Amino acid sequence: MSTIENRYLFEKLHNFRDIGGLKTKDGRKMRDGLLFRLEELSRLSTNDIENFHQLKIKSICDLRTPTEQKSKVSRIQSNENVQVLKVSIHDKRREFTRFEFFKFLVTKPNTINFEDITFV
């Protein structure tokens, strides 16, 4: 694993990045190596898992829906070194499988109220 321009290189995990260096609203900067953003962890290779553990990440917040979590199971599970928190940020009442969502978009696109979905 190596870093180039704040990017960590993994074999099968793409879009992994350190949030460190980003400015906050009050002008301060996030510390490097403290908070990372990444896609789901079901794609990790064996080498990726080893590299991931070298970062000594203590907590993972999985923001996917329960359906997404079941369909693409994370290769990193809670253990003595890392805690995986399953915190879906999506409204579970509107949860679709990918097929159901595609079918909904194709057959009933005019019934989607994006303001209702987007705003609380």
Measured over the CA atoms of residue 58, residue 13, residue 97 and residue 111, the dihedral's sign is positive
DSSP lists the bridge partners of residue 60 as 84
- Express each pLDDT in 21-71 by its tens digit: 888 888 888 888 888 888 889 999 999 999 999 999 988 988 888 888 889
Query: What is the pLDDT of the chain when averaged over all its residues?
Result: 78
0.85 exceeded by the pTM? no
Structural tokens at position 69: 């979590």
